[in-house]
Amino acid sequence: MTAQTLTDLLEAGVAGRTVLIRSDLNVPLDGQTVTDDGRIRASLPAVKALADAGARVVVMAHLGRPQGEPDPKYSLKPVAARMGELLGVPVALAEDVTGPSARQKAAGLEDGQVLLLENVRFDARETSKDDAERAELASEMAALAGEDGAYVGDAFGAVHRKHASVFDIASQLPAHQGPLVAAELEVLTRLTADPERPYVVALGGSKVSDKLAVIENLLDTADVLLIGGGMLFTFLRAQGHEVGASLLEEDQLETVRGYLERSGKDAAEIVLPTDIVMASGFAADAEHEVLPADALTTGAHGASALGLDIGPATAEAFAEQVREAKTVFWNGPMGVFEFPAFAEGTRAVAQALTDVTRDGGLSVVGGGDSAAAVRSLGFEDEAFGHISTGGGASLEYLEGKELPGVSALQGGTEA
């Protein structure tokens, strides 16, 4: 069944109606300051379209993992302030999720006004495994919209979760797929259905265990897998190399050996780093040196050396592989990009992706840390074909899993 869309809802008319919209506003904070507002900016077109059409807009979102109870550290107050700045109109913040403050402020909305509910994960029912508990919360959310209300699911970063504000709410109100979700699904379909080749995937991040299923699937669909980040050391150890004090998942070695055995035979070619930036410790000012991947413990710090980035030769080799591709998916930084001394591998891959875009190929930055990295390194969003707002959801789609939030939107009633 084809999902109803935001366009369908707008065409049906929303003036004077209360519309709940689930957005992804899970942004990084430094105290009360939003340090990367990319997800807020991405959420605004749908919110603005509804407000401009006269809807009374109630935004639902989460931030972090507050364990089912209010925690000031995870309040959406800074997000409401930044949303208001970007929209150019005040965005009110309810002090709770569906309690007295939310009910009062939702009832007091006028046409075109926007209300942000407090972090939905402040209510334990949001993430409950109990269907009845989630349904109860979803019913309370729907009540905020009233009899003529509607729901828009636009938080792609949460569609892989069976949560009240993502899954259960879609059966309580006429449900519509937001433009962010639609755009993400279109891009992911291009990556999985019939990608233009060569198709190169760059995978980084800290743990192999986080990406086992996606590696399994991509071995069958991609042409080349470039392995960086902390996860690379499990691959190098599986080849028999010493990795010093670098991040290592001993329990994944046998699985990784299986991947390497398949590499380039009946599956994608796995390309590993040939050199690594090894440091004296995990710190921005740590002493460091570049060592061959097969001799990581032969430097000044011996077996206590810690790998924090791919080396310059690897960065250039990875970048060349990316530039030769017609389709590229990148998820996970190549090193500890937050420290300038260990950001060059990530920068090289990011730059190569922009070259692919310039030359007419499809480059996809897979959300999460990758999206934060390209922005912190000074790249503009427009330099890439697509920057995902949902790293985890993107990976699960590429694994071939069903996304509950997407399925729920396809089963809704009309506007």
Q: Which residues are catalytic?
A: 39, 207, 368, 392
The C-alpha atoms of residue 321 and residue 386 are separated, in whole angstroms, by: 19
| Amino acid type, 404 | P
Could you write out the three-class secondary structure of 6-33?
HHHHHHHCCCCCEEEEECCCCCCEECCE
The C-alpha atoms of residue 362 and residue 199 are separated, in whole angstroms, by: 9
| Amino acid type, 114 | V
Count of helix runs (H) and strand runs (E) in the chain: 14, 17
Sign of the dihedral through C-alpha 193, 195, 200, 201 = negative
Contact yes or no for 206/182 (Cβ under 8 A): no
Strand partners, 201: 225, 329
For residue 38, count other CB atoms closer than 10 A to its CB.
18
For residue 53, count other CB atoms closer than 10 A to its CB.
18
Pairing label, strands 224-227, 56-60? unpaired
The C-alpha atoms of residue 373 and residue 366 are separated, in whole angstroms, by: 11
The C-alpha atoms of residue 212 and residue 202 are separated, in whole angstroms, by: 14
The C-alpha atoms of residue 209 and residue 7 are separated, in whole angstroms, by: 39
Contact yes or no for 135/370 (Cβ under 8 A): no
